[in-house]
Chain A
Amino acid sequence: MGEPERAIDCDGLTRSFPAGVALDALTLDVRRGEVLALLGPNGAGKTTTMRLLNGVLQPDRGTATVLGLDPWTDGEAVRHRTGVLTENAGLDERFTALENLEFVGRLRGMGGDEARRRGGELLERFGMSDRADVRVQGFSTGQRKRVALARALLHDPELLFLDEPTSGLDPAATRDVVELIGSLASDHGRTVVLCTHFLGEAGKLASRMAVLFRGVLHAFGTPEELARDLWSAFEVRLDLGAAASGPLLARLGELGPVHGAAPTSSGALVRLEQRDDIPAVVAACVAAGAEVYAVEPRDPNLEDLYFAIEARAAGTVAAGAP
């Protein structure tokens, strides 16, 4: 029997604490080899989701399958195949970087020599080999994060839960970690659930995103899908060499799929129903005697999406294009 196509499949996952509902009926899936960005502010339910999917917490309601297993009843087997980087690096300061890795390796069933060898390789990969035998106590946040990442990868897990993997890292280290996470998925077929506040990082790595607010999933899909869901129109920037004339704008406004047109210093900004309407707009411009130098569809970026979803979640209607 082959492995299921989905690494994670959860349906109606719900968990409450005395303080309230931390996660309310979460339904989503993660495909094998995919990077899913789990976005949301503090208290959104990202960490609770991670704990539920790794069998550390039991759901009140709902079901989940992780790597074909139930994380609650088969938690030990799931955790053997997953690697977790918690938001706090969680290193024991009384030990060296390598000793921290060796402990986890032994607990995962590796021999001492194997754990040290593999730990040494990973520390070298993260530029930490010169600190391998130094106690963690004096490490910077970035150094701790790199050791903790090495620890999460020690047993070459199939599925990684990474909670804020680049917080506290300098730009160069952030770039390295982002590249590493990307290559884990693209080159090594690893599945990654990335909990992050950094939208740029999520945009570079994730094919789909799930946006949580106060335990409720408010959006789930590719950025394009989310944009379609949020906005009925998208914008096209026309470069006409000069600001569009009044008659041209009026003519464009008469076209059926055009929701509006406004002049810019070099042409016009036109709101269309869909991408397929671009040729008609260009034809109308040419027919009106205008010269079209460039047509630049303006896709909403991840920040536009995130804040629009946040606004919608807060009860504000995010109308129109970004």
Chain B
Amino acid sequence: MSAGRLDHAAIRAVLRKDLTAIGRSKAVVLPMLVVPIILLVLLPASVGLAAQDRSIDIDRFLSLLPSGLTEPITGRPPDEQLIVLVLGYLVAPLFLIVPLMVSAVIAGDAFAGEKERKTLETLLHLPARDRDLYVAKLLVGFLPSVAVAWVGFALYCVVANLVAWPVMHRPFLPTAQWAVLILWVAPAVAAVGLGIMVRVSIRVSNTQEAQQLGGAVVLPLVILAVGQTTGLMLAGTGPTFLVGCAAWALAAWLNVRGARAFTRERMAARL
């Protein structure tokens, strides 16, 4: 039933409706704005201001890392090392967590929300193909999460450069490595989260259930992101790009399987 090209008009119609609904919901928009501002702007700014204190000794911290990885830090003048470590490396995980969170929250509502609002049956009786509905619901989660990550990063660059200016006397962000992280890895991680959450949303009967069940599945990804991203940044642009490739491959696998598993027959049989 889902052969052929994508029906862009149908996808746009669903996108338009769902993004408008998101825009109208304070309960969704406020956390989507406030949490990224806190995590991506205020928190890094505070930490960056604290990192201007040159009395903090980072040698012990750096000594715990493999010597090859610390070169991007230790190769800098001593007064720049702390602020570059903090703003250039330690806050990086936040830029994976935030799009993952945003995509998970929105995607949890994808089909479970339609069931909860009793609009799913009407949707299934419309001529949109199964695959178009699935793709539309993926994009509804993907676009805002990437937008939040990219806009958040643009703001972060301004704030980080301002905070670091007294020490650096020049803008030091964005770098090629950050570009790879934000433009390549962060959308991939969001797509992985979506691949999980949309499928969860298909199976459960309401958004709350989707977020509880989905949270349990997505949480290990968050932990992985927190634990590994700084190390990844220290490892360099090439490894970061490769990790992005792996994340995209996983996202593609999850979503292709998801699209195959999603049929209106299954959805209707659970109504």
Q: Is B124's CB within 8 Å of the partner chain A? A: yes
Least CB separation from B122: chain A residue: A90
Contact partners of A56 in chain B: CB under 8 A: 121, 124-125, 264-265, 268
Q: Say what secondary structure dominates the interface of chain B.
A: helix
Q: Could you say which interface size class chain A belongs to? A: 20 to 34
Choose the segment among B12-20, B62-70, B98-106, B200-208 that binds chain A (4+ C-beta atoms closer than 8 Å): B12-20
CA distance A250 to B61 in the complex (A): 117
Is B119 touching A91 in the complex (CB atoms < 8 A)?
A: yes
User: Of the candidates B121, B126, B269, which one forms a contact with A104 in the assembled complex, judged by CB atoms under 8 Å apart?
Assistant: B126
Chain B CB within 8 A of A54 CB:
yes
B21 on interface, CB distance cutoff 8 Å: yes
The answer to whether A90 touches B265, judged by C-beta atoms less than 8 angstroms apart, is: no
- Within 8 Å CB of A57, what residues of B? 265, 268-269
| Minimum Cβ distance to chain A for residue B247 (Å) | 32
CB distance from A105 to the nearest CB of B (A): 8
List chain B residues, Cβ under 8 A from A91.
119, 122
Query: When chains A and B are docked, how far (Å) is the Cα of A104 from the Cα of B125?
Result: 11
CB-CB nearest in chain B for A54: B125
Most buried by A among B20, B24, B264: B264
Among A51, A84, A88, A148, contact of B268 (Cβ-Cβ < 8 Å): A51
Scan residues 54-90 of chain B and give those whose CB is less than 8 A from a CB of chain A.
Answer: none
* Chain B residue contacts of A104, Cβ below 8 A: 122, 126
Nearest-Cβ distance from residue B171 to partner chain A, whole angstroms: 42
The count of residues in chain B whose C-beta lies closer than 8 Å to any C-beta of chain A is 28
A82, B126: Cα distance in complex, Å: 9
- Verify B13–A92 contact, CB threshold 8 A: no
Give chain A nearest CB distance to B27 CB in angstroms. 11
Bound together, the chains give a CA A95 to CA B129 distance in angstroms of 23
| Chain A residues closer than 8 Å to B154, beta-carbon distance | none
Over the window 1-35 of chain B, the binary record of Cβ atoms lying under 8 Å from chain A Cβ atoms (1 yes, 0 no) is 10000000110111011001100110000000000
Q: Is B143 positioned at the interface, with any CB of A under 8 Å from its CB?
A: no
Is B127 an interface residue when CB atoms closer than 8 A count as contact? yes
Are A86 and B21 in contact, with the CB atoms below 8 A?
no
**Using Cβ atoms and an 8 Å threshold, which residues of chain A touch B21?**
92, 94-95
Residue pair B127, A86 in contact (C-beta under 8 Å) = no
Interface positions, chain A 104-127, Cβ under 8 Å from B, are 104, 106-109
Q: Given A92, A94, A108, which contacts B126 in the complex, CB threshold below 8 Å?
A: A108
A214 smallest CB distance to B (angstroms): 18
Question: Which one of A5-13, A73-81, A219-227 is at the interface?
Answer: A73-81
User: What is the bound-complex CA distance between A176 and B37, given in angstroms?
Assistant: 54
Q: When the two chains form the complex, which single residue of A72, A79, A106, A151 contacts B9, counting CB atoms closer than 8 Å?
A: A106
| CA distance in complex: A181, B205 (Å) | 34
CA distance A162 to B264 in the complex (A): 20
Q: Is there contact, CB below 8 Å, between B125 and A107?
A: no
Q: What 4 A-B pairs have minimum CB-CB distances, sorted nearest first?
A: A90-B122, A106-B13, A79-B127, A84-B125
